[in-house]
Amino acid sequence: MDGDARLNAYLAGNFAPVRSEDDLDLTVTGEIPAGLRGALYRIGPNPQFEPRDPNHHWFAGDGMVHGFYLADGKATYRNRYVRTPRWELEHAAGRSLFGTFGNPMTTDPAVMGQDSGVANTNIVWHAGRLMALEEGHAPFEMAPDTLDSVGYVQAYRGRTTAHPKIDPATGEMVWFGYGVGDAPLSAGMSYGVTDATGQVVRRDDFQAPFASMVHDFMVTENHVLFPVLPLTGSLERAMRGLPPFAWEPEKGSFVGVMRRDADVSTIRWFNTGACYVFHPMNAWEADGKLYADVMRYDQAPLFPKADGSPGEKSAARLVRWTFDLSGASDAIREEPIDDLDGEFPRLDERFATRAYRHGWYAADPTNGKTIKQSAIAHLDFATGRRQVYELTGGDLTSEPVFTPRTADAPEGDGWVTAVVWRAGENRSDLLVFEAQDVAKGPVAVAQLPRRVPFGFHGNWVSF
């Protein structure tokens, strides 16, 4: 199914869902490195049925996991729906029942108040569990080999983030939740910690300056940073038939900073001008300051204004935010790092929360203010060198994911994997690059006979 662009752009082209669940042996050209053994798991929205909401949003489709399994130079592929309670209810009914983001105005009364989780945004491995994540519900466990749905991990007791951070030194998974509380689209937030064994050892609630879509956050060795930016949530607005989430720049931008071992009452709110960040690359601390490298938009893309009118086109660029913990000012200092539009920044996760040297991201070499990226970029912060591998023919790339050559290899020594949509053939490939030489092109390509729809995030798990 390729959808109908007249109905909704998020149901057309490579945004459109694929509804078959398949197991495929892939044709490989080049040579998959012998040391690359494991799976790249990717996840994205894939509506099971035509959405009932004419304003269906990309972020609101049912989750589908795509597993690329590599070993001994061979590649196989498997995809499965995340069978959430919402998926099961709609599957039994044979039609869509829930509105976008659970909007009660566009939800079938028969399922009002039922779990509307879609588990479609990120997929992570922690403490022996493969978990599909989204922003409004607890993690949903999947079997790593079969991709069978296991169910919610009940220990999280409610909303969690799609973007936890795993501390490479302690093995802890640090996370947050937003929209926490009895009322949907509230300003309530949570801060949580899961220890290296998978036990949730902390969950504390606090109030943000206003209700915001807090897609991601930053963690350093000793601190957490909660960005509350003016992509606002409003139940009252939604009940009037206006957007549940909308751009309200007059509210400004805030980042709450707290020590990881402190009480949430100690959060200090820093501020900057109106902007939006979906994803940071990394954050770290030194000499009484916190640093965060983030993909910053002048305004949130993909969402309308509060009156329902379309938002302006906007693209992200990598900038560095500095927070002076010893200073009297709560202003965030900002400096540009790169002049290329991009998204989905990643790093060698063994250096997450610490000072680092290497980063990768999906890029738009045309600087065309689009969410569609046609290149993969590597930045070496020590030398200032940027390498770019550009796709041609309208091909577009997913998030690039780094895998170290060995557990103790130097930072950035390894491979980058990315799923690419081949526009002219309307199918997808898995590409493997030498991580510090992406410009020379892939060392291996695993070819799919069909496409993988545009999704969000992925992570590598070594076997």
pLDDT, tens digit, 9 for 90 and up, residues 418-439: 999 999 999 999 999 999 999 9
- Residue 395 CA to residue 212 CA, distance in Å, equals 33
Mean pLDDT of the chain: 95
Domains of the chain by residue range: 22-462
What's the confidence (pLDDT) of residue 398?
98
List binding-site positions.
163, 215, 279, 457
Rounded to the nearest 5°, which phi and psi values hold at 259? -65, 145
Alpha helix (H) residue ranges in 31-144: 85-93
Nearest of 405, 395, 409, 407 to residue 443 by alpha carbon = 405
What's the confidence (pLDDT) of residue 54?
84
Architecture of domain 22-462: 7 Propeller (2.130)
pLDDT, tens digit, 9 for 90 and up, residues 364-386: 999 888 889 999 999 999 999 99
Quickly list DSSP for 127-184. TTEEEEE-SSS--EEE-TTT--EEEE-GGG-S---S--EE-TTT--EEEEEES-SSST
- The alpha carbon dihedral of 84, 86, 87, 89 has a sign of positive
pLDDT, tens digit, 9 for 90 and up, residues 233-270: 999 999 999 999 999 999 999 999 999 999 999 999 99
* Predicted confidence (pLDDT) at residue 342 exceeds the cutoff of 60: yes
Cβ of 222: how many Cβ atoms within 10 Å?
13
Rounded to the nearest 5°, which phi and psi values hold at 416? -120, 135
- Residue 399 CA to residue 176 CA, distance in Å, equals 22
List binding-site positions for Fe cation.
163, 215, 279, 457
